[in-house]
Structure 1
Amino acid sequence: MASINADNRGLRLAVRYLVLTLIAIIFIFPLVFMVMSSLKPDLQLLRDTSSIRAFLPVGDISFDNYASAFDRVPVAKFMFNSLVVTGTTVIMSLLLCSLAAFSFVFLNWSGRNVALSIIIATLIIPFETIAIPLLLFVSKLPWIGMEGLTFGWLDTYRVQIIPLIADGLTIFLFVQYFRDLPRELIEASRVEGASWWQIYTRVVMPLAGPVLATAAILKFLAMYNQYLWPLMVVQQETYRPVMVGLQYFFQLNTAWGEIMAYLTIITVPVLAFYLVLQRAFIASIASTGVKG
């Protein structure tokens, strides 16, 4: 009987790994197609899409598309702009949204449930519905910088960062995670005379590794893939992010091989960020706990 149970468990485990492997292959296929297509000339690329050759490094393989992509588009400048905007927004979003969630969960103040409900309700509002009013608003806002007092935020980094820092989803993720933390930790810290800021920095946030990693990944993807908002508020090439750079390849003759090369280049930071945060997510889960 024991051997039969062991065989059944082994069979279920094998089936589970087989299913997971098939799912992984399905998700990897678009990446493989993108990389393989970036190495082929346009005619061969279009011809291979009707067969399995689209996923194989066969035919006239070269890195010419990458060189042409760098010649057509200032890839390094666009990549730098995207990393500056995305990195700054992610850091500020994690700080401000976690502080907001901390106040909703641990502080007693009048109207907090109503405020939280309004914030969560914003999740159903598409960004396109507020894009035009937001554009008109930021185009008249004052700013004090090195050049003195100026009006209008267009063609700057700040117009791509500040309006998108806080969002309902990130606050909701932190609220849900903070609600599951042991209340005994907070009460014990208050008894020992800790301030709310000390509780936030020394008690709550050290335990928030999983939600920090999750929120950072989601915010990074949302900001790195921004297209509509930068297209509306940035006209100078100096401040354009990578997604706006895609339109360069559709001018005159569409160069599909160069597009695939460009997409491969700009996908590297996304994969690297995800892999780093995934390891941090797993490590934080392993280390999170209440120590007596």
Structure 2
Amino acid sequence: MAAYALVRKRFPGRNVLLWSIVATLMVPMQATLIPTFILVSRMDGVNTLWGLTLPTLANAQAVFLIRQFVRDLPDEIFDAARIDGAGEWRTFVQILLPLIRPILATLAIFVFLWHWNDLLWPLVVGQTDEARTLTVGLATLNTETVSTANIMSAALVGFIPCLVIFIVLQRHIVAGIAAGGIKG
């Protein structure tokens, strides 16, 4: 929704907002780790599932990538929807979302893999064994006397959700590439 607003809406400070979002991409996650942890701990999010996921929901990279994709869509599509009497919400849901399905699938794969393989934030927030993620668990197996075969089998189990997500979403990416090739 933010990307749609940044492209299709004219409002004061739109470029400043865009460049502020882009600027957050230059700040490493480690620089904001302690303030984010303090906020999550004050909201009683330590050792909880929402404490692991809430700080990662707003993704500046996703907003920027979708903005670039939406910017390249022809204005005539949105003008036709407006002429047909579609409001903003209907235009977003029925026009834009089907058109950006390939980029959403690509982002879903990237974001899932990024967060599935994240070690630092789950290590900081998940302080008990019950709240640890698979990645943290695999990292702690190296400190114990566990055979390499057991570690490799655990890594394979951790790889299966990544493979399933890719297989499920790849057809949207291929369909988007094929549709883009036909239009051109």
TM-score over 0.5 for the pair: yes
On the 8 A contact 1:120/1:172 being kept in 2, the answer is yes
**Equivalent position SS for 1:243:** helix
Aligned residue pair count: 183
The alignment-based identity, stated in percent, is 37
CA distance in 2, matches of 1:252, 1:229: 22
Within the alignment, does 1:269 sit opposite 2:171 as a pair?
no
CA distance in 1, matches of 2:146, 2:121: 24
Q: How does 1:60-139 map to 2 (within 5 A)?
A: 99-139=1-41
TM-score by length of structure 1 reads 0.59
**Equivalent position SS for 1:251:** coil
Displacement after TM superposition at 1:192 (Å): 2.0
- Counterpart among 139, 149, 152 of residue 260 in structure 1: 152
Segments of 4+ moved more than 3 angstroms: 284-291
Displacement after TM superposition at 1:257 (Å): 2.1
Q: How does 1:113-262 map to 2 (within 5 A)?
A: 113-141=15-43, 152-262=44-154
Summarize the Cα distance change of 1:256–1:110 in structure 2 as closer, same or farther, 3 Å threshold: same
CA distance in 1, matches of 2:81, 2:165: 34
**Equivalent position SS for 2:25:** helix
CA distance in 1, matches of 2:146, 2:30: 27
Summarize the Cα distance change of 1:215–1:252 in structure 2 as closer, same or farther, 3 Å threshold: closer
Displacement after TM superposition at 1:272 (Å): 1.8
Displacement after TM superposition at 1:183 (Å): 0.2
Mark the structure with the bigger radius of gyration.
Answer: 1
Displacement after TM superposition at 1:131 (Å): 0.5
TM-score by length of structure 2 reads 0.92
- Give me the CA root mean square deviation: 1.9
* 1:160-212 per-position Cα deviation (integer Å, ceiling 9, x unaligned): 11110111110111000000111001111112221111110011111112111
CA distance in 1, matches of 2:172, 2:76: 26
Summarize the Cα distance change of 1:219–1:252 in structure 2 as closer, same or farther, 3 Å threshold: closer
Displacement after TM superposition at 1:123 (Å): 1.2
Gap regions ≥5 residues in structure 2 = none
On the 8 A contact 1:249/1:258 being kept in 2, the answer is no
Displacement after TM superposition at 1:228 (Å): 0.7
- Counterpart residue identity of residue 108, structure 1: R
Gap regions ≥5 residues in structure 1 = 1-98, 142-151
